[in-house]
Amino acid sequence: MNNIVSMKNYTPVIFLFLLALLSACHTVKRGLSEDPVEPDTGPKGVFSEVLPAAPEDTVKEAYPQGMSAGTISEKVMYEQAFEELKRMLQGIKAPDFERAVFISENPYYATNYLYEDFQVNIDVHEYMIRQLMQANNKSDSMDFDVAVNQYGRFNIDAIRFLPAERKELYRQALANWAIFTYITDTIAVYPYDHFPYTYATHDPFGIKDWQNSQVLHLLSSEDQKGNCFALTAFFKILSNRLKSDARICTAPQHIYIQHRDPKGDYYNVELATAGHPGDGTIQTLTYTTTEAIKNGIALRSYDERQSIGLCLVNLAKSYEHRFGVKNADFILQCAELVLQYDTKNLSALLLKQQVLDERLRKEALQLKSADPVVLRVQPEAG
Total tally of structural domains belonging to the chain:
1
Q: Per the domain annotation, does 132 fall within a domain? A: yes
What range does the domain containing 168 cover? 3-145+154-376
Residue 345 and residue 300: Cα distance in Å, rounded?
9
* Higher per-residue pLDDT: 144 or 318: 318
- Give the tens place of pLDDT for each residue, 115-125: 999 999 999 99
Q: Per the domain annotation, does 221 fall within a domain? A: yes
Q: Per the domain annotation, does 382 fall within a domain? A: no
- Give the tens place of pLDDT for each residue, 179-188: 999 999 999 8
Q: How many helices and strands in the chain, by DSSP H and E?
A: 15, 9
Per-residue model confidence (pLDDT) at position 372: 67
Question: Where is average pLDDT lowest: 205-209, 232-236, 347-351?
Answer: 205-209
Per-residue model confidence (pLDDT) at position 63: 45
Asked whether the predicted pLDDT for residue 314 surpasses 90, the reply is yes
- Give the tens place of pLDDT for each residue, 140-152: 888 887 676 667 6
Q: Per the domain annotation, does 381 fall within a domain? A: no
Q: Per the domain annotation, does 196 fall within a domain? A: yes
Asked whether the predicted pLDDT for residue 281 surpasses 80, the reply is yes
Per-residue model confidence (pLDDT) at position 67: 54
Reduce the DSSP state of residue 7 to 3 states and report it. Answer: coil
* Run of H or E residues at 259: strand 254-260
* Run of H or E residues at 118: helix 115-136
Q: Per the domain annotation, does 111 fall within a domain? A: yes
Residue 24 and residue 220: Cα distance in Å, rounded?
10
* Nearest in space to 305 (alpha carbons), one of 117, 145, 94: 94
- Give the tens place of pLDDT for each residue, 41-94: 333 333 233 323 333 333 333 444 455 656 668 899 999 999 999 999 999 999
User: Is 279:270 a contact under the CB 8 Å cutoff?
Assistant: no
Q: Per the domain annotation, does 214 fall within a domain? A: yes
CA-to-CA dists, residue 145 to 163, 167, 168, 172, angstroms: 5, 9, 13, 18
- Give the tens place of pLDDT for each residue, 228-247: 999 999 999 999 999 999 99
Q: Per the domain annotation, does 343 fall within a domain? A: yes
**Adjacent-strand bridge partners of 226:** 199
Residue 267 and residue 260: Cα distance in Å, rounded?
6
Q: Residues in the chain, how many?
A: 382
Rounded percentage of the chain residues whose pLDDT exceeds 90: 64
Residue 196 and residue 231: Cα distance in Å, rounded?
11
The pTM score is 0.80
Rounded percentage of the chain residues whose pLDDT exceeds 70: 75
